[in-house]
Amino acid sequence: MAPRCEIFSQGEEIVTGQTVDSNAAWLSQQLIAAGFELTRHTAVGDHLEALVGLLIEISERADCCICTGGLGPTGDDLTAEAVAEAFGAPLEFDAEAMDQVESIFKLWNRPMPAVNRKQAYFPSGAVRIDNKWGTAPGFTVNHNGCQFYFLPGVPSEMKKMFQAGVFPQLQESFSLSPLKKVTFRTFGLGESAIQERIESIVFPEMVTVSFRAGLPEVELKLWFPPEQDQQEIEVLSSAIASALGNQLISVSDGFGPPKGIVEVVSELLTEQNHKVALLETVSSGLLASWCVTRPWLLESRVIPSSELLNRDFELEGCSETERALSLAKLVRQKSGADYGLVQLWSFDPSLLKEKRRSMELVTALSTCDGETHHITKVGGSLDRKQNIAAASLLNLLRFHLGTAY
């Protein structure tokens, strides 16, 4: 039988809806994948009596509990105090924790306020969980046979502390049978389109299928019971990959995220030691911001208007496609890059402002062997149009470079 685990989130901002509890969603995925039976999510505001009561309740019904929030230095951060009262474990000062908090402020080149001393007090018998990424150390205690882990509410800190400090302890402390998982990441396919492509594939009875829609990529996830035969999983995965075709970006057969289009293209460019020059219009430098640390990005420019485009480039052809192909070639030749990537559209601002109106986007790629292009219509919000415009450039390059699928 899988051990029972609960997630407990503290904070008035969570209860009132001012902050979406993304921590609980992320932790749920990690815990279920690890083999826990996740029984409850609970959120409580900054009220000591309510916190104390809930901690006692959880200790009587769960094997494990992950708690987030309430470890800060201010008066509304009540987690350590609530644990001390609920479990009869008076707060004790931890000098090493204090040194860690002070070192963070030194790293930031800021004086430490006196109130932060509060973060070095833990319930008697607690084991500290170090925080190398912020000022709030966590801690773990056991009460009534339930192992509690208390982590800060800052998502980036919480995730790193869970992965580095909590998850290894969970694996040692509990007998877990992890689920098996395969994730397919696609570009240019919606959930319904993916469903249509895999409709004829026969799935094992116990497999769970889910989707995760993002912008501009969509993930198809398969969850298998621990006892599922690995060969059956591989045969099914191969059939799905074939059905998704060249719109499949990557596959992950573990619990790490599959590679996105930036990572896939970056690996291919690095392997081939090629350089790229970009010219963005509608995406306004978004693609360059995704790739700013990549060694293959040789040059990037943003042209926000047709007037600037005509001023800086002498383009051949009358149609948008002809102009895009000409521009891609010029960008490649002037920069000395192996590839020139550009996007063109009509430069009509009204198309960006109105969600119901679609814009025609021309993406073009120039190589030493010639030029190619792709035309697509993009609708929706400005954010959606810009994201798809940026990713479409990389996708055109991905087709040229070739992928494993």
Tens of pLDDT, residues 161-175:
999 999 999 999 999
pLDDT higher than threshold 60 for residue 405: no
CA–CA separation, 295 vs 180, rounded Å? 35
The confidence score (pLDDT) of residue 59 equals 97
pTM for this prediction? 0.74
Q: pLDDT (tens digit, 9 = 90+) per residue, 255-293?
A: 677 899 999 999 999 999 999 999 999 999 999 999 999
C-beta atoms surrounding 381 within 10 Å = 13
pLDDT higher than threshold 70 for residue 18: yes
Under 8 Å between Cβ of 287 and 393? yes
pLDDT higher than threshold 80 for residue 318: no
Identify any residues that bridge with 187 across adjacent strands, giving them in sequence order.
217
Query: Mean pLDDT over residues 378-395, rounded?
Result: 94
The confidence score (pLDDT) of residue 309 equals 85
Query: Mean pLDDT over residues 9-23, rounded?
Result: 93
Query: Mean pLDDT over residues 113-125, rounded?
Result: 94
Please spell the DSSP secondary structure of 183-228, one letter per residue.
EEEEES--HHHHHHHHTTSPPPTT-EEEEEE-SSEEEEEEEE-TTS
The confidence score (pLDDT) of residue 317 equals 64
Domains for the chain: give ranges and CATH numbers. Answer: 4-173 (3.40.980.10), 180-258 (3.30.70.2860), 262-401 (3.90.950.20)
Across the chain, mean pLDDT equals 93
The confidence score (pLDDT) of residue 281 equals 94
**Which letter, b or e, does each residue of 342-370 get, where b requires 16 or more Cβ atoms within 10 Å of its Cβ?**
bbbbebeeebbeeeeeebebbbbbbbeee
Query: Mean pLDDT over residues 114-142, rounded?
Result: 95
Supply φ then ψ for residue 357, to 5 degrees: -100, 135
Query: The sheet that has 217-224: what strands, in order across it?
Result: 208-213, 217-224, 180-187, 248-252
The confidence band for 94, taking pLDDT boundaries of 50, 70 and 90, is very high
Under 8 Å between Cβ of 127 and 94? no
pLDDT over 90 for what percent of the chain?
80
Please spell the DSSP secondary structure of 355-373, one letter per residue.
TT--EEEEEEEEETTEEEE
User: What does the block give as tokens for 65?
Assistant: 């509990």
Burial class (CB in 10 A: 0-12, 13-18, 19+), 192: exposed
Q: pLDDT (tens digit, 9 = 90+) per residue, 343-376?
A: 999 888 888 888 889 999 999 999 999 999 999 9
Choose the weakest-confidence range: 106-115, 295-304, 387-396: 106-115
pLDDT higher than threshold 60 for residue 404: no
Q: pLDDT (tens digit, 9 = 90+) per residue, 200-254?
A: 999 988 898 999 888 889 999 999 988 899 999 999 999 999 999 999 999 998 7
Under 8 Å between Cβ of 328 and 338? no
The confidence score (pLDDT) of residue 362 equals 95
